[in-house]
Structure 1
Amino acid sequence: AVFDEVRRVLRDDGTLWLNLGDSYAANRGYQVVDNKHKDVGNNGSMNVPPGLKPKDLVGIPWRVAFALQASGWWLRSDIIWAKPNPMPESVTDRPTKAHEYLFLLAKAERYYYDAEAIREPMAESSIQRINQENFWNQTGGEKDYRNGTNANRSMRNTLENFATSGISGRNKRSVWTISTRPYPEAHFATFPPALVEPCVMAGTSAHGVCPACGAPWVRVVERTDQPLVSAKGSRFDRGKTGNRDGGDRTQTGERYLSTTTGWQPSCDCHAPALDNGVAVPFADDPDSGYWAPTPIPATVLDPFAGSGTTLAVAVEHKRSAVGIELNPAYVDLIHKRLGRVQPRLINL
């Protein structure tokens, strides 16, 4: 029911980022209240659900993800939160749990996602490999044209992407290594701000949204004159998959860094100026011929606000934040935490 309401208030181009921990099935004569640090007895009981056995990993994150998918959400990515400093466990018959899942879900097939905002620096080994003189010198890993399945096609696509998009870094990977952080207040199930930042930055526009319809402003990305890597005459028409995948095409020339040159609305709420009855194309320029309403901050909703980590990150990145929390004690923590937040001067 909660996520039905989330879906109702979410824009069609909005996304849902969901972090869930897991647990093991067990028969207990008590439960642990969520604001207690120790395994102390309480009234109530917990029994192994039908279909599971004692000591079974319940698989809560995936069960919820599949249920949301079945209800109409698009399940777009499963992200691993890898913890270098996990909580110690006394178990001796399984590995210590050192990860959690973060799911990216969308309300519609097409949605807002700012990949540029969370690009990662390319590994030095990748830069050196792509900088080799030509395609036939590419070595190592599944992209080696001599080994692996369809490796020729994989390397061809990599080189073409660099040539056409001029990206300044690699796309965000699906394993995020982020240390947990201590929280001194009376809430022990907090996640670190670094886990939330990519979600806020990719899921909402740093430039804001249209005040009329709420559509996000999008980046205007252009190629610069600064070379990224260089390739000379790399050919894709040889190798075991060359005839099928490569054809007779040659990849030549420099690759260049890209940069954000401005922002523009993704809606039609702006008013065009006409030049002899023809609308002048829009650019992020007051003299372009188009007028667009001044954008307002994008909104981040956290229906399980807890200690307010998501809200604090949203405010820090100059987004509007809406939180829902049933525990009055946690609401006090949220107010205290938000009172210490300073919005960043620049959002990239």
Structure 2
Amino acid sequence: MNIFTDEILEHNIHKWSGTMNNKTWTLFCGDAVDSLRNIPDESVHCIVTSPPYYSLRDYGVDGQIGLEDTVNEYVQSLCRVMDQLYRVLRKDGVLFLNLGDTYYSGKGASHGKDSKSNKRRFGLRPVDKSGGLGENLERKSIIGIPWRVAIEMTSRRWVLRSPIIWHREKALPEAVRDRPRRSYEYIFMFAKDRKYYFNRQPLIDKQIDEDVWTITPRPSGTELQTAPYPDELVSRCLDIGCPENGVVLDPFSGSGTTMQVALKTGRSAIGIDISETFCRYILEHLEG
């Protein structure tokens, strides 16, 4: 392992670089859009990422995505990052985007507790305000966040090739009484050209449904109180969407799952996160 000196770039972005398993890794700590400007055009083979979901968690970081007052502001904030991802992704590259949905309550501040994460309750959230979030939504409606983001991305040249259902087997059930409890999330597979890298063979070999992936979710980390997706989910994305020795990027690294899996599978990794706490956690594990 070789950890190089911490660099400070424009916009107060910190950058670390090193090697693991003879593969290079780079970690940027700062705003995603500003950090991505330091990555060359068409230099990344595959992107696997799960941005902060809308109005579900407060990580206590200025400039974080997810706490916008309206749905449209959230979609636009996220798509500004997607515009930069389009630039850095190779012409034959693929993006896997994991997004969960949110319900509009319109009933005021939440006073409950959520056993999944103590960061889920933080006073009056946008989804708890009255007014429909600028979308004329009725109370208790699911907002359709993943599809709103996906449709906006298609208007920005992205090619939506496949919505994949992640069946979250054995997930902690939602505390709801008047609707079915959700057991899935979306993983959207995007490309930027008609021809791109795709390897179906791993799906055939495992004899699994190609667009419904049953994978047990990973428990929330006690150290970070974040919501990391499981290693298997990242591995499956890389198996079908990233060539051997490719470069993998995650602009919302969180606890660093994408980087770790990429490096373990013989690929180079680039990570970005706005939280200094998360970045320090990733560095500790890369050093270890």
Q: TM-score range by the shorter chain?
A: 0.5 to 0.7
The 5 A counterparts of 1:259-338 are: 297-338=245-286
8 Å CA contact retained: 2:249, 2:269: yes
TM-score by length of 1: 0.53
Once residues 231 and 206 of structure 2 are traced to their aligned partners in structure 1, the CA distance between those partners, rounded to angstroms, is 20
Name the count of aligned residue pairs.
Answer: 201
3-state SS of 1:119 partner: helix
23, 33, 46: which one aligns with 2:102:
23
Once residues 118 and 312 of structure 1 are traced to their aligned partners in structure 2, the CA distance between those partners, rounded to angstroms, is 22
Q: Does 1:6 align with 2:85?
A: yes
Deviates more, 1:77-86 or 1:35-44: 35-44
Instruction: Report the equivalent of 1:73.
Output: 158
Q: Does 1:203 align with 2:151?
A: no
Q: CA deviation at 1:40?
A: 3.8
3-state SS of 2:279 partner: helix
Higher alpha-carbon Rg:
1
Q: CA deviation at 1:36?
A: 5.3
Once residues 125 and 184 of structure 2 are traced to their aligned partners in structure 1, the CA distance between those partners, rounded to angstroms, is 29
Instruction: Report the equivalent of 1:187.
Output: 225
Q: Residue type matched to 1:339 in 2?
A: E
Once residues 31 and 322 of structure 1 are traced to their aligned partners in structure 2, the CA distance between those partners, rounded to angstroms, is 37
Q: CA deviation at 1:181?
A: 1.9
Cα 1:320/1:62, change in 2 over 3 Å: same
8 Å CA contact retained: 1:31, 1:45: no
Where does structure 1 lack aligned partners over 5 or more consecutive residues? Answer: 123-169, 207-296, 341-348
8 Å CA contact retained: 1:311, 1:323: yes
Cα 1:23/1:44, change in 2 over 3 Å: closer
Q: Residue type matched to 1:99 in 2?
A: Y
Once residues 175 and 77 of structure 1 are traced to their aligned partners in structure 2, the CA distance between those partners, rounded to angstroms, is 11
The 5 A counterparts of 1:89-100 are: 89-100=174-185
TM-score by length of 2: 0.64
Instruction: Report the equivalent of 1:152.
Output: none
8 Å CA contact retained: 2:203, 2:210: no
3-state SS of 1:75 partner: strand
Give a deviation string over 1:198-229, Cα, whole Å, max 9, x none.
111221112xxxxxxxxxxxxxxxxxxxxxxx
3-state SS of 1:64 partner: helix
Q: CA deviation at 1:185?
A: 2.1
3-state SS of 1:306 partner: coil
Q: Residue type matched to 1:105 in 2?
A: F
Once residues 271 and 180 of structure 2 are traced to their aligned partners in structure 1, the CA distance between those partners, rounded to angstroms, is 35
8 Å CA contact retained: 1:77, 1:105: yes
Quote the sequence identity (%): 39
Q: Does 1:177 align with 2:214?
A: yes
Choose between structure 1 and 2 for higher RCO, CA contacts under 8 A separated by at least 6 residues. 2
Instruction: Report the equivalent of 1:110.
Output: 195
Q: Residue type matched to 1:104 in 2?
A: M
Instruction: Report the equivalent of 1:37.
Output: 118
8 Å CA contact retained: 1:15, 1:106: yes
Instruction: Report the equivalent of 2:53.
Output: none
8 Å CA contact retained: 1:115, 1:202: yes
3-state SS of 1:324 partner: strand
The 5 A counterparts of 1:50-69 are: 50-69=135-154
Where does structure 2 lack aligned partners over 5 or more consecutive residues? Answer: 1-79
Cα 1:45/1:176, change in 2 over 3 Å: closer
Once residues 145 and 162 of structure 2 are traced to their aligned partners in structure 1, the CA distance between those partners, rounded to angstroms, is 16
Deviates more, 1:85-94 or 1:103-112: 85-94
Q: Residue type matched to 1:316 in 2?
A: K
Q: CA deviation at 1:44?
A: 6.4
Once residues 333 and 99 of structure 1 are traced to their aligned partners in structure 2, the CA distance between those partners, rounded to angstroms, is 28
Q: CA deviation at 1:28?
A: 5.4
Cα 1:108/1:336, change in 2 over 3 Å: same
